A and B are shown apart, each in its own frame.
Chain A
């Protein structure tokens, strides 16, 4: 996704003079050709992530469309007040493209993990958050974000699904349960293939989205109404329960149950290794999801 979006953004720069890319010594090789063509619109600020976001705010104040890119841990967590004040409070937008979300580079350790990025942005109004599960989805989200003036976070991952499913704003039905089904599963971005495998023995509806904010409350409401039971399992690649308040708001008029699977909130996993090993530790591999889904839906 990272290479693909760099290509999409670089090409967009040729057609749209408003687009500028701000980097902090990460992915500079991927924007080298664009920098050659547009030297004043590809700006590497060095390892200065507060300035990275503040400068984006300044560019936007002059009418430009800034793209801001680095690892999510240095993009959302370190300069969080800059996102809050220099974009949000100024009333301007940017396309914020993060990589390494949760634990894509797990061997690098805790310093490069950012499972809290979406929950943090969720404390700020007016952000659109895309969590693509495929490079084609990432490209489509980036292109539409470039064409707007909104505050958009595109959370890229080095992992994803075998095929793209949706880059629209709404939940799409990937597998439909019966009228007597046990409930609804919402799979976010890269979690879909695992969720489909983990729930294949269950009579549930599986919904998919690569856009979590704004969340498609009406779509979830309709799917739950069509299901046999108002039980909702959400599987997200970042902190468990990040979207719990959206599920609660969507189903406020229904008696319902919900369970959120994601990265554990109650421990700092002090381990290296592979992302797959971290999935297992957080119960986000196929087996972990299957176990949790089975317990939740077969109460």
Chain B
């Protein structure tokens, strides 16, 4: 299916996101599962990411990779608010001919960088994307003084998703290769079955990452964490949200 050009968003504010999610669920009962990522996604698309519907193929764009492809309603709602999708598309969500499934497909949705749903793939893809940008000279190894805009790679995972061992492979290599252009956001709603004693951030800092732990509902705190310098180190932002939201 050819991605459809989206019309200008009618509902484009943060306050409109529940309405947009409501177009997909049609009721309130599914919203909890969808909204653990809502504030992080909004801050990224509203304040951080250098990407827009008219340049989804621009090599210089920032990449946002949703690894945690489960419960993508918040993702679709933010994409709609930012003009990547139109409202009619939201209404047909998960129907046979809809581009919007219960896990996103990059071939069907404009602006979606990866197809996801099976856990533990996005971080590896993000490492490869950062390596590809570096190999093409689109990113340099960042230094604190370096101010020229360079495409960044953001990947969002869940705390339970980190259980997949494939993530550890990516965390280790990104630290060792000093992938300063890579940012991982961990949505921590305490859903990992066996938990992460000592906290998630320490797993990353032990491998050479810069880490910030913030309230995942605090927009200013999130934006601040995303924009702090992290020369020659990948960045992890652990966004804590209410348990099992």
With A54-B170, A85-B115, A91-B106 already in contact, the answer to whether A61 and B124 are too (CB < 8 A) is: no
User: Given that A20-B132, A45-B173, A86-B124 are contacting pairs, would A54 and B166 also be in contact in the complex, using a CB cutoff of 8 Å?
Assistant: yes
Q: Name the A residues within 8 Å of B105 (CB-CB).
A: 89
Are the C-beta atoms of B169 and A64 separated by less than 8 Å? no
A48's contact among B115, B130, B173, by CB below 8 Å, is which?
Answer: B173
Please name all residues of chain B whose beta carbon is closer than 8 Å to the beta carbon of A85 when the two chains form the complex.
115, 118, 121
Q: Does A55 contact B (CB under 8 A)?
A: yes
Query: Is there a chain B Cβ closer than 8 Å to A90's Cβ?
Result: yes
Instruction: Name the A residues within 8 Å of B169 (CB-CB).
Output: 45, 48, 50-51
- How many Å lie between the Cα of A43 and that of B120 in the bound state? 21
Is the Cβ of A91 less than 8 Å from the Cβ of B126? Answer: no
> Number of contacting residues on B, CB 8 A?
33
Stretch at the interface among B40-48, B133-141, B218-226: B133-141
Is A81 at the interface (CB under 8 A from chain B)?
yes
Residue of B114, B118, B131, B170 near A43 (CB, 8 A) is B131
- Shortest CB-to-CB span from A92 to chain B, Å, is 10
Kindly count the residue-residue contacts between A and B in the assembled complex, taking CB atoms under 8 Å apart.
Answer: 105
Nearest residue (CB) in B for A24 is: B169
B128 at the interface (CB under 8 A from A): yes
Asked if B136 and A51 sit within 8 Å, CB to CB, the answer is no
A66 to B133, CA, bound (A): 13
Inter-subunit contact A51/B166 (CB<8 Å):
yes
B106 and A59 within 8 A (CB): no
Q: A20 to chain B: which residues have CB within 8 Å?
A: 131-132, 135
User: Which chain B residue has the least Cβ–Cβ distance from A58?
Assistant: B128
B195 within 8 A of partner (CB):
no
Whole-angstrom distance between the alpha carbons of A218 and B146 in the complex?
A: 59
- Pairwise interchain contact A90-B114, C-beta atoms closer than 8 A: yes
Q: Are B125 and A57 in contact (CB under 8 A)?
A: yes
- Interface residue A41 (Cβ < 8 Å from any Cβ of B): yes
Residues of A within 8 A of B115 (CB): 85, 89-91
Given A57-B125, A86-B124, A86-B125, residue A51 in contact with residue B170 (CB < 8 A):
yes
Residues of B near A45 (CB, < 8 A) are 169, 173
B171 closest partner in A (C-beta): A51
Contact residues in A for B133 (Cβ distance below 8 Å): 62
B66 to chain A, nearest CB (A): 13
Q: How many residues of A contact B (CB 8 A)?
A: 30
A46 within 8 A of B: yes
| Cβ contacts under 8 Å, A41 to chain B | 135
Contact of A61 among B113, B118, B134, B138 (CB under 8 A): B113
Residues of A within 8 A of B130 (CB): 58
- Whether B136 pairs with A62 at a CB distance below 8 angstroms is yes
Complex contacts, A58 vs chain B, CB 8 Å: 124-132
Cα of A104 to Cα of B11 in the assembled complex, Å: 61
Residues of A within 8 A of B123 (CB): 54
Cβ of B113: which chain A residues have Cβ within 8 Å of it? 61
One digit per residue, 1 when the CB lies within 8 angstroms of any chain A CB and 0 when it does not, for chain B 55-75 equals 000010001000000000000
| Alpha-carbon distance between A53 and B124 when the two chains are bound, in angstroms | 8
B5 at the interface (CB under 8 A from A): no
Name A32-46 residues within 8 Å CB distance of B. 40-41, 43, 45-46
Collect the chain A residues with CB atoms within 8 Å of residue B128's CB: 54-62, 66
Among A48, A51, A56, A85, the one with the most B-chain Cβ atoms within 10 Å of its Cβ is A51
Q: Could you tell me the distance between the alpha carbons of A64 and B165 in the complex, rounded to whole angstroms?
A: 26
Given A62-B129, A89-B115, is A54 in contact with B136 using a C-beta cutoff of 8 Å? no
A190 to chain B, nearest CB (A): 32
CB distance from A67 to the nearest CB of B (A): 13
The reply to whether A61 and B132 contact each other, CB–CB distance below 8 Å, is yes
Q: What 1/0 flags go to A57-79 for Cβ under 8 Å of B?
A: 11111111010000000000000
- Tell me, rounded to whole Å, the shortest Cβ–Cβ distance linking A11 to chain B: 18
Q: Which residue of A lies closest to B135 (CB)?
A: A40
A64 to B132, CA, bound (A): 7
Chain B residue numbers with a CB within 8 Å of A55 are 124-125, 127-128, 131, 170, 173
Residue of A nearest to B177 (CB): A43
Quick check: A46 and B132 within 8 Å, CB to CB? no
> What are the 3 closest A-B residue pairs judged by CB atoms, nearest first?
A58-B128, A54-B124, A62-B132
25 CB contacts below 8 A, A to B, read A20-B131, A45-B173, A46-B172, A46-B173, A50-B166, A50-B169, A51-B124, A51-B166, A51-B169, A54-B121, A54-B124, A55-B127, A55-B173, A58-B128, A58-B129, A59-B128, A59-B129, A62-B59, A62-B138, A63-B59, A64-B132, A85-B115, A86-B125, A89-B105, A90-B115
Q: 12 new A-B pairs (CB below 8 Å) besides A50-B169, A58-B126?
A: A40-B134, A40-B135, A43-B177, A51-B127, A53-B124, A54-B166, A55-B125, A61-B125, A62-B136, A85-B121, A89-B105, A91-B107
